[in-house]
């Protein structure tokens, strides 16, 4: 992810003495994303990813690290946290909570085809089945409470039509949150840049640091709103059908989920419109940082409001 906290090779070499993963041979900052500091770390034993957490506290992080370890044990290709010699996943480096995880093969794809969306739907279904047995407790940190707080912070920067759209959608979502939907630990951010393709196959799913307990259907909606969207914010039917059909082979949707689907698609669009507005108007200083265009998810939200997509 973006580099906010600089780590020198000498500092990392000293820190790595707590681990049994060899000696440092290369260190490279990763210039993507906006939440944490990430580096590719190459040692005499292999390649890893170092993360220094810029927002999450040491008290919050066990949920995420243990969730990743749980999924990895269940065969999901995700980063597996490396324990230090004291059998702890989490340490402190340059004043920040830090962890090191396995580095997975592959790279993100910008323009997915239906066959790749099918694989994403299948792995999302597998993740939801594996996540049912995870015992961690943490409500989605970017859920409705955060939406309201973020909306108050960004509203002064918006013109009247966008403020009205935001207020209208928050009101709609407040009237559609008491839904009886299956819930569990979910990724909540399964965008294209968080799935690595190694050739024609998924090499890994990364960046679990927005995970939390939420409706499984919300996780599906987040995924469809990125993998199956066109430039105007509409849904590409072929890609969406491929993703949803593959997911349903792992877990069938309930009647209540089918009814709630249009509202959850809107909720997923609102969540990412708000986060992009917040990052755009209220950025943190950092090296190699960048913010995504919030207008994209405004268009997605307006498209979902204008044309609900049935879950069939």
With 70 as the cut, is the pLDDT of residue 286 above it? no
- Reported as a single tens digit per residue, the pLDDT across 249-281 is 999 999 999 999 999 999 999 999 999 999 999
Q: Residue 13 has which token pair?
A: 């070499």
Which architecture does CATH list for 9-102?
A: 2-Layer Sandwich (3.30)
Predicted confidence at residue 71, as pLDDT, reads 98
Specify the domain boundaries for CATH 3.90.1200.10 within the chain.
114-306
pLDDT over 70, % of the chain: 96
What is the average per-residue pLDDT within 278-292? 73
With 90 as the cut, is the pLDDT of residue 120 above it? yes
Specify the domain boundaries for CATH 3.30.200.20 within the chain.
9-102
What is the average per-residue pLDDT within 226-238? 94
What would the CATH number be for the domain defined by 114-306?
A: 3.90.1200.10
Looking at every residue in the chain, the average pLDDT score rounds to: 94
- Reported as a single tens digit per residue, the pLDDT across 189-214 is 999 999 999 999 999 999 999 999 99
Confidence of residue 288 (pLDDT cuts 50, 70, 90): very low
With 70 as the cut, is the pLDDT of residue 9 above it? yes
What is the average per-residue pLDDT within 92-118? 97
What is the average per-residue pLDDT within 107-133? 97
Q: Is the pTM of this model over 0.85?
A: yes
- Reported as a single tens digit per residue, the pLDDT across 64-100 is 999 999 999 999 999 999 999 999 999 999 999 999 9
């Amino acid at each position: 992810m973006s580099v906010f906290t600089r780590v020198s090779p000498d500092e990392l070499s000293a820190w790595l003495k707590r681990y049994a993963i060899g000696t440092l041979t290369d260190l490279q900052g990763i210039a993507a994303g906006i939440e944490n500091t990430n580096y590719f770390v190459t040692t005499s034993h292999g390649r890893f990813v170092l993360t220094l957490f810029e927002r999450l506290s040491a008290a919050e992080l066990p949920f995420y690290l243990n969730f990743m370890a749980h999924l990895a044990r269940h065969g999901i290709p995700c980063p597996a946290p490396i324990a230090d010699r004291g059998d702890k996943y989490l340490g402190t480096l340059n004043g920040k909570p830090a962890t090191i995880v396995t580095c997975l093969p592959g790279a993100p794809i910008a323009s997915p085809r239906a066959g790749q969306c099918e694989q994403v739907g299948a792995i999302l279904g597998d993740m939801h089945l594996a996540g049912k047995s995870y015992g961690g407790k943490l409500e989605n940190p970017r859920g409705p409470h955060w939406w309201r707080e973020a909306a108050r912070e960004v509203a002064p920067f918006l013109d009247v039509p966008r403020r009205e759209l935001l207020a209208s959608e928050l009101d709609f979502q407040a009237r559609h949150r008491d839904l009886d939907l299956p819930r569990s630990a979910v990724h909540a951010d399964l965008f294209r840049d968080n799935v690595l393709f190694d050739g024609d196959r998924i090499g890994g799913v990364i960046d679990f640091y927005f995970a939390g307990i939420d409706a499984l259907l919300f996780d599906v909606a987040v995924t469809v709103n990125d993998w199956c969207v066109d430039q105007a914010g509409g849904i590409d039917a072929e890609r969406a059908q491929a993703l949803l059909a593959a997911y349903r082979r792992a877990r069938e949707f309930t009647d209540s989920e089918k009814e709630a689907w249009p509202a959850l698609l809107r909720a997923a669009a609102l969540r990412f419109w708000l986060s992009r507005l917040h990052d755009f108007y209220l950025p943190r200083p950092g090296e190699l940082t960048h913010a995504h265009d919030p207008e994209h998810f405004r268009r997605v939200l307006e498209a979902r409001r204008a044309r609900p997509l049935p879950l069939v």
